[in-house]
Amino acid sequence: MEQGDNDAPVVFLHQIHRRYRQGEDTLTILDNAQLALWAGQSVALVAPSGTGKSTLLHIAGLLEQPDEGEVYIGGAATSGLSDAERTRIRRTEIGFVYQSHRLLPEFSALENVMMPQMIRGLPRKETIQRSKEILAYLGLGDRVAHRPAELSGGEQQRVAIARAVANAPRVLFADEPTGNLDPHTADYVFKALMQLVRATQVAMLIATHNMDLAARMDRRVSLADGQVIELD
């Protein structure tokens, strides 16, 4: 799997090891973890706090390097890439949603969604139109001019989702995206994520503690002793 390959998983984590030094001790978080994510498939990562869910998402999303192992994106190995090349892949192929929206407070919803497209170098006019379309698709057509502080928690999180998919990534990682939301709003935000998977065939991995939401996804995995295990 040297070159990009359409039959390959969108993301493949191969024998990933991750350790943190904790004073004198070494904390092994991921110990030969393996996981394949496929286009159009939603996967729930359900495991207790501190087991390494965020670590796994950060490594898969090229935000952090493993100590050993390889991350393949679209069948292509990423460990030998330059920082600039990793950044390019992160911007174009990968979307990330966090528990807190992390929107830029001084910019409107529209500008927040435009930002990753502008950074990528797309023409301004095109990014405005595309951002409006995505926001409308997520039910925010009448909120484009609002700043984050003028939006509800669920609206903020839907803007964050719009921003994450603005560059049409092949994979979307969400780290407890509904963790701060009340059950009704969580359900609405979750539906928006699932709708995107079906409409765009993006691969999606959501770390969540919500078993009801996990049950509605295509597949469930967990972490045990640093390894990814399939549930069900």
Which of these segments, 19-27, 52-60, 72-80, 111-119, binds Mg ion (CB under 5 A)?
A: 52-60
Q: Does 54 bind Mg ion (CB under 5 A)?
A: yes
Q: Does 51 bind Mg ion (CB under 5 A)?
A: no
Q: How far is the CB of 54 from ligand ADP (least distance, A)?
A: 3
Q: How far is the CB of 129 from Mg ion (least distance, A)?
A: 35
Q: How far apart are CA 169 and CA 120, in angstroms?
A: 13
- If the CB atoms of residues 21 and 125 are measured against ligand ADP, the closer one turns out to be 21
Residues that bind ligand ADP (CB under 6 A): 20, 27, 29, 47, 49-55
Q: How far is the CB of 42 from ligand ADP (least distance, A)?
A: 19
Residues 140, 101, 176, 36, CA torsion sign: positive
Q: How far apart are CA 112 and CA 65, in angstroms?
A: 27
Distances (CA, A) of 167 to 89, 93, 161, 183, 194: 11, 8, 11, 29, 18
* Type of residue found at 160: A
Q: How far is the CB of 53 from Mg ion (least distance, A)?
A: 5
Q: List phi, psi (to 5°) of 120.
A: -75, -15
- Binds 52: which of ligand ADP, Mg ion, none (CB < 5-8 Å by kind): ligand ADP
* Type of residue found at 209: H
- If the CB atoms of residues 58 and 163 are measured against Mg ion, the closer one turns out to be 58
